[in-house]
Structure 1
Amino acid sequence: MSAPKTVAPKKGAVDRFLDGIERVCNKLPPPAILFCYLFVIIAILGAIFSFTGITLEHPATHEAIGAKNFFSGEGVQWLLDNLVKNFTGFAPLGLVITMTLAIGFCEESGMIMSMLRSGLKNVPPTIVPYVIAFIGTVGNIASDTAMVVIPPMAAIVYMGVGKHPIVGMIAGYAGAQAGFTANLMIAGTDSLLQGLTNEAIKSFLPDSTFTVDVTCNWFFMMASTFLCSIVIGFVCNKMVDHRFGKYEGENQEKLEAVSEAESKGLRNAGIAALIYLAIIVIGYFFGPLALIKEDGARAFVGSPLLKGLIPILFFFFCIPGIVYGVTLKKFKNTTDINRAMVKQMSAMGSYVVFCFFCGQFQKLFAWTKLDTMLAISGADALKAIGFTGIPLFVAFVLVCMVVNLFISSGSAKWAIFAPIFVPMFMMLGYHPGFTQLLYRLGDSPTNCFTPMSPYIWMVLEVAKTKYDKDLKIGTLVSGLIPIAMVLQVAWIIFMVIWFISGAPIGPGVGSALPAGIM
């Protein structure tokens, strides 16, 4: 008698759609080769647009912007002068290698697993995605560092509670990238965008003293931190988890009770971390780590502490990791410490190759001016629609969302958008701080799955090295897209409700332009 056939459960429309995306994206070539192809495509498009003579007016400088031809004497000279600079100046390269080296001490010494086993032993698995998403979102106070630090740690946490580590990386990466603009505190993003908003106001009303403060979006973004955590955690639990199933790889980690020696190591590492933090605090309040204003007040935004956060975090991870390793005799001498560093760096070869070609592509995209022309065209198209109110808000968010897939720099896009939309929204009676907020809503969710971000390729390489050597980009993208789409819709709805309620989006800032400004 033959055994009964097992009937696979019928997949829903969403799963079939994501399966299709996964299949398509998995057919993409390796990242280095992909960016070679993109380099050639941009070079050809730049040549075509340069021959057409099409120009667009830059809204800030009123300069005529036209495409540049890479296949010209100027293009060849640009490549010869900048090939090495495009690679060595590629910001994610140094950041990823630096933070990977720092976290490597904690990982190679065993400190990370001991911390997780000590603190998360009794945390219900269903709660873990929400915690990871919250940490990722708040972690963007450290800017791009969060995208490097949090996903690998999240993978270990997930594995420790019996969940798939790659889903953990997705949750951590989504928190840091899709929720990039939200935070409980004022972050560098607030300061950067506020400066560009004020420049747009000044260009539009040169005789006005009206400006926006760095806190103009604070209330809304503080509440958005919890929105991002809830949405990302929910989607990971309900949609992403079942796409990966149970992890059965060789690199298994379980959250078991810590030993007495490990407890001693954690205690010593904690003391070392507290001493280090005390030095940083003293340096901020009494030393050179604060921004000293003209009136003598010390400020955090724009301070050396915030600007130098990467080296500060580097030592914050290195010191406890080494102390823990020495306590448990994992690091008996400097040779052991060197071996730990070399082991971490040995897995970075493919990422370095990717950075070389991605750096060339991104710099060419900027040099040809196609990135600027794309942003201006999108802004002009939205301006031409001519409606107002909530439909205008939603349309603006969606345009920012689409452009964000191609231009990863938030400040570069806002430098182009602000001179167009800040005056336009002011003439319609809306506060510049509110216009800036709408931009931020469209500038965040799609961050997590755009191939233009170098950090998604970093996540892919780490996941392949540690958990699944056959993993492809399509599998990551198919897990990140539902998070981004659900979050984008939820954020728009949240914004509409906030707007209708009339609640302030920051201290003294609402959606309406104060009377008498125009």
Structure 2
Amino acid sequence: MSKANMAAPKRSAIDRVLDGIERVANKLPPPGILFCYLFIIVAVLGAIFSFTGITLANPATQEPVSAQNFFSTEGIQWLLGNLVKNFTGFAPLGLVITMTLAIGMCEESGMIMSMLRNSLKNVPPAIVPYVIAFVGTMGNIASDTAMVVIPPMGAIVYMGVGKHPIVGMIAGYAGAQAGFTANLLVAGTDSLLQGLTNDAIKSFLPDSTFTVDVTCNWFFMMASTFLCSIVIGLVCNNVVDKRFGAYEGANQESLEEVSDIEKKGLRNAGISALVYLAVIVAGFLAGPLAKINEDGSRAILGSPLLTGLIPVLFFFFAIPGIVYGFTTKKFKNTTDVNRAMVKQMSGMGSYVVFCFFCGQFQKLFAWTKLDTMLAISGADALKAIGFTGIPLFVSFILLCMCVNLFISSGSAKWAIFAPIFVPMFMMLGYHPGFTQVLYRMGDSPTNCFTPMSPYIWMVLEVAKTKYDKDLKIGTLVAGLMPIAFILQFAWIIFFIVWYLIGLPYGPGVTHLLPPGVL
């Protein structure tokens, strides 16, 4: 937060609450040490619950679930056998490092700033948050890649129009995380959740041919994309911007005129990007990048193009960046290219330490079964309340929102929730696709500030390295929490209006279960 804002004589009630949250959260230890403490807490809780003998039934497998004791022979053997795997198998580690290298080519060559100066010179700063939030929300077509790519891009765009780059990172991260489930296109999330929903239907009605399609939430999620972009943009402009004020750091660049050599570099980089995209399109239409269906048609969902999107994006960023660098003489040889990559990686040490301890914590949380027991208990409690109609819907959304703070995997939660709530809602006369919509609304907004997500720590490290070495997690959380809660409230209101009007959630999908299914 800027000194100018700290010295302001009058603070609103919201600002005072956020100031309190920021002060408390800033007292948290560094991320590596924090997850060390969390590891110990989970280990102790697992031991306590294992001694109580509490057992719950996992609705996804019908098997009993009980806590496991880390302080046992099995626990010690698990740690010794998996310590390295927990680290090297921690998915965000390779993803973040890979994309940092790729984006580093564009940034160190100067291509990104030239693009911004060339395209954003006359863009009103007030609409920038909406654009960044929209791009972040649409970015979930690339799954977790959006959390890595969009925030640094948002920072540079913000800085280019004279706004604080950390707010740009917040806007981009909120779009990618809080709006994770929304998209104008049918994304991989739709396919994954639809499969789990159909599994729940099949378990409930083994002899039925009734299923939901991958497009069962498409209409609602298309509309939600604009809702997320508008709400995130509004909150960034009216709340978050004011908390950070003007950026006065040394690492800033104004939008100056683009020189002739830079224009040539952009032209050559653009040509290389188009050639690369043409190769990718050809690989999908006539090569190995498409999924071949039984009827011989090509599909993008589940294709090597989507499953291999990280390497595809790596070269999409790296090739134009290198072409631009050699055109403008920023890169004179391969040594300069290597130096650019090393410079980008030099600030990743803290993130690697975090990945080590966060990987251990997440794997222990799963090994002790506490994550599964937490989700099952929450679902059972909501089922016991006995609500119907809108109170039931809102309660389910809020349950998903709360559980989402502790378990970041959306597919893992739905694998547990679907076998409980899909049949329960069907018996009340509600469509499984409708139940899936409720889950998705609760599964997204709190993504952006939960400490269980490794990507918030990545955003923190990048922001500290480039823009504010004294930045702490509390400042970041205080900027993200208003976005999450306001978006959740707006999304629920939006849903209630949609429900009362009776609009379809996807092709042929309303809130009502079709006659004859039961």
What band does the TM-score fall into relative to the shorter chain? over 0.9
Which residue of the partner structure matches residue 3 of structure 2?
Answer: none
Task: Output the CA distance in 2 between the equivalents of 1:300 and 1:497.
Answer: 33
Task: Output the CA distance in 1 between the equivalents of 2:380 and 2:136.
Answer: 34
How far does the alpha carbon of each residue in 1:248-296 deviate from its partner, in whole angstroms, 9 at most, with x for none? 1111111111111000000000000000000100111111111110011
Task: Output the CA distance in 2 between the equivalents of 1:285 and 1:510.
Answer: 35
Check if 1:222 corresponds to 2:237.
no
For residue 458 of structure 2, what is the amino acid of its counterpart?
A: M
Check if 1:431 corresponds to 2:422.
no
Which residue of the partner structure matches residue 182 of structure 1?
Answer: 182
SS for the counterpart of 1:455 is helix
Check if 1:247 corresponds to 2:227.
no
For residue 19 of structure 1, what is the amino acid of its counterpart?
A: D
How far does the alpha carbon of each residue in 1:33-53 deviate from its partner, in whole angstroms, 9 at most, with x for none? 000000000000000000000
Q: Is 440-449 or 254-263 further displaced after alignment?
A: 254-263
Deviation at 1:8, TM superposition (A): 3.9
Deviation at 1:12, TM superposition (A): 1.7
Task: Output the CA distance in 1 between the equivalents of 2:94 and 2:266.
Answer: 29
Which residue of the partner structure matches residue 192 of structure 1?
Answer: 192
Which residue of the partner structure matches residue 3 of structure 1?
Answer: none
For residue 109 of structure 1, what is the amino acid of its counterpart?
A: S
Check if 1:502 corresponds to 2:488.
no
Deviation at 1:330, TM superposition (A): 1.0
Deviation at 1:350, TM superposition (A): 0.6
Q: Is 6-15 or 288-297 further displaced after alignment?
A: 6-15
Which residue of the partner structure matches residue 469 of structure 1?
Answer: 469
Deviation at 1:7, TM superposition (A): 8.5
Deviation at 1:139, TM superposition (A): 1.0
Which residue of the partner structure matches residue 83 of structure 1?
Answer: 83
Which residue of the partner structure matches residue 131 of structure 2?
Answer: 131
Pairing 1:110-509 to 2, within 5 Å after superposition: 110-509=110-509
RMSD (Å) for aligned C-alpha atoms: 0.9
Conserved in 2, the CA contact under 8 Å of 1:426 and 1:513? yes
Task: Output the CA distance in 1 between the equivalents of 2:225 and 2:114.
Answer: 28
How far does the alpha carbon of each residue in 1:104-147 deviate from its partner, in whole angstroms, 9 at most, with x for none? 00000000001111111110010000000001000111111111
How far does the alpha carbon of each residue in 1:441-500 deviate from its partner, in whole angstroms, 9 at most, with x for none? 000000000000000000000000011000000000000000000000000011111111
SS for the counterpart of 1:126 is helix
Task: Output the CA distance in 1 between the equivalents of 2:176 and 2:80.
Answer: 36
Deviation at 1:508, TM superposition (A): 1.1
Deviation at 1:392, TM superposition (A): 0.4
Deviation at 1:10, TM superposition (A): 2.0
Task: Output the CA distance in 2 between the equivalents of 1:359 and 1:273.
Answer: 35
Task: Output the CA distance in 2 between the equivalents of 1:224 and 1:242.
Answer: 26
Conserved in 2, the CA contact under 8 Å of 1:156 and 1:253? no
Task: Output the CA distance in 1 between the equivalents of 2:482 and 2:390.
Answer: 24
Q: Is 37-46 or 299-308 further displaced after alignment?
A: 299-308
Unaligned runs of 5+ in 2: 1-5
Task: Output the CA distance in 1 between the equivalents of 2:249 and 2:311.
Answer: 34
Note closer, same or farther for the CA distance 1:59–1:343 as it changes in structure 2 (3 Å cut).
Answer: same
Which residue of the partner structure matches residue 27 of structure 2?
Answer: 27
For residue 72 of structure 2, what is the amino acid of its counterpart?
A: S
For residue 313 of structure 2, what is the amino acid of its counterpart?
A: L
Pairing 1:7-46 to 2, within 5 Å after superposition: 8-46=8-46
Conserved in 2, the CA contact under 8 Å of 1:19 and 1:478? yes
Task: Output the CA distance in 2 between the equivalents of 1:98 and 1:283.
Answer: 22
Q: Is 455-464 or 253-262 further displaced after alignment?
A: 253-262
Unaligned runs of 5+ in 1: 1-5
SS for the counterpart of 1:57 is strand
SS for the counterpart of 2:348 is helix
Conserved in 2, the CA contact under 8 Å of 1:105 and 1:322? yes
Deviation at 1:9, TM superposition (A): 3.0
Task: Output the CA distance in 2 between the equivalents of 1:218 and 1:500.
Answer: 18
Which residue of the partner structure matches residue 61 of structure 2?
Answer: 61
SS for the counterpart of 2:126 is coil
Deviation at 1:11, TM superposition (A): 1.3
